[in-house]
Structure 1
Amino acid sequence: MAISIKSSKDISALQIPNRIVAQSLELARTNAKEGMSLVELDSIIEDFILSCGAKPAFKGLYGFPCAACISVNEVIIHGIPTDYKLKRGDIVGVDVGAEHNGWFGDGAITFGIGEIDPQDKQLVQCSKDALYHAIDSIRTNMHFKELSKILQDRIVGNGFVPLKGFCGHGIGRAPHEEPEIPNFLESPNPKQGPKIREGMVFCIEPMVCQKSGEPKVLGDNWSVVSVDGLNGSHYEHTVAIIGGKARILTEA
């Protein structure tokens, strides 16, 4: 399937759900406190999205039961909100999607509850740093594989490894569109395959592990951890290619 090119009108429409995502993530960050359950945090996110006249895009998507993916500590992505109560020192990844008038937004952050372990601070900073470094590096006519190499090199350069088997993606009229954008180079030559073009809109989402990038899906059939069993981190922005560069849509 071809990678879709969005018009300026399309991108304006996409700004609405992506702004709602950004505001939802900030709301999650400011409301998540020691003693709060993941279900309570999910409810806050869902109520806010609905109050904006949008829908939580993840709820029911592929059978996912909740509004947000909330992933704690060793769970890197796709955590299902439960009655687990947040504890001081936890690191929490929140991934939110919103749909407004048939257009989709998607973004994620990872943050700590109170004071967190220095290694976890570096881990969280790595995923955020890799995301913004990749966004700053994007230019039209780059290959998407070059973007994957940039993400991989930044993650590995910071002493961590990318999660395998999961990736960023296009977005627009569907929550997941072409292309797939891994955080690692799958073939030796990055200068091949589809190129980044003006008007493309896609999600970049570095998922970072400590020792092993090999994934393992837990018994709930959703939560993804590394086989090393150590904490992971995840950041994500939706970007649009405007004027030859990437503009972040998921900013409050």
Structure 2
Amino acid sequence: MAIALRQPKEIEKLRAANKIVGGALELLRQNTKVGASLKELDAMAEDYILSHGARPSFKGLYGFPNSVCCSLNQVIIHGIPSEYKLQEGDIIGYDIGVELDGWFGDAAITVPVGTVSARDEELIACAKDTLYEAIAAIKVGMRFKELSEILENSIRLRGFVPLYSFCGHGIGRKPHEEPEIPNYLEGKDAKSGPKIKNGMVFCIEPMICQKDSKPLILENKWDVVSADGLRGSHYEHTVAIVNGKAEILSIA
């Protein structure tokens, strides 16, 4: 299946959807406080999305029951919001998808609750810094496998490892499109596979484990943790390739 090349007007549609994602994430960041429940935060983001004329695209997607993936502490991605109330020293990942006028947006952040350990600060910084380093490195003509190699090297240089079996992805008229973008190089040849071109729009999302890249899915069929049982982190932006470089769409 071919990777879509979007026209400027289509990229503006995607920017509008992603701006709502960015606003919802910023709202959650500001309200990440001791005592806030995950369900309250989920409802807050859903209200924000609806008030902007959009739809929370994760709700019902593949059967997911809520609007926001709330991934607490050891949960790296796909956490289901619960009645749990945030406590000092927790870390919480938020992943939000939005559909506006048939176009999709998607982004994620991991946020500390109050004061967290130095290790947790490093864990969160790994996901965030890796994301921005990768975005800055993108050029037209490079291959997606080269991007995956950059992501993996950035994660490992910080003393962490990428989560296996889950990946970034294209986005547009559907929440998940071609290509798949792992946070690690599959195979040995980074100079193979499709090239990045102007007009492509995709999500980059480093998912960070501490020691073991193997994922485990918990009993609720959604929460993904590392086999090492340690805390993880996750950051994501939707980017469009415009004039040879990656432009972040998912900011408020």
- Give 2:85's aligned residue: 85
The Cα shift of 1:251 comes to 1.0
- Give 1:187's aligned residue: 187
2:251 is the alignment partner of 1:251: yes
Superposition pairs of residues 224-239 of structure 1, within 5 angstroms: 224-239=224-239
- Give 2:73's aligned residue: 73
| Aligned mates of 2:37, 2:124 — CA distance in 1 | 21
The Cα shift of 1:69 comes to 0.2
The Cα shift of 1:32 comes to 1.7
User: Aligned Cα RMSD in Å?
Assistant: 0.4
| Aligned mates of 1:88, 1:48 — CA distance in 2 | 26
Unaligned residue ranges in structure 2 (runs of 5+): none
Unaligned residue ranges in structure 1 (runs of 5+): none
Superposition pairs of residues 100-179 of structure 1, within 5 angstroms: 100-179=100-179
AA aligned to 1:85 is: K
The Cα shift of 1:33 comes to 1.2
- Give 1:25's aligned residue: 25
SS at match of 2:194: coil
| Aligned mates of 1:122, 1:32 — CA distance in 2 | 19
Superposition pairs of residues 188-227 of structure 1, within 5 angstroms: 188-227=188-227
SS at match of 1:123: helix
- Give 1:94's aligned residue: 94
Q: Which runs of 4+ in 1 moved over 4 A?
A: none
Identity, % of aligned pairs? 60
| Aligned mates of 2:3, 2:187 — CA distance in 1 | 20
SS at match of 2:42: helix
Give me the TM-score of the superposition, normalised by structure 2.
1.00
| Aligned mates of 1:12, 1:94 — CA distance in 2 | 24
SS at match of 2:95: strand
| Aligned mates of 1:188, 1:202 — CA distance in 2 | 23
SS at match of 1:240: strand
Give me the TM-score of the superposition, normalised by structure 1.
1.00
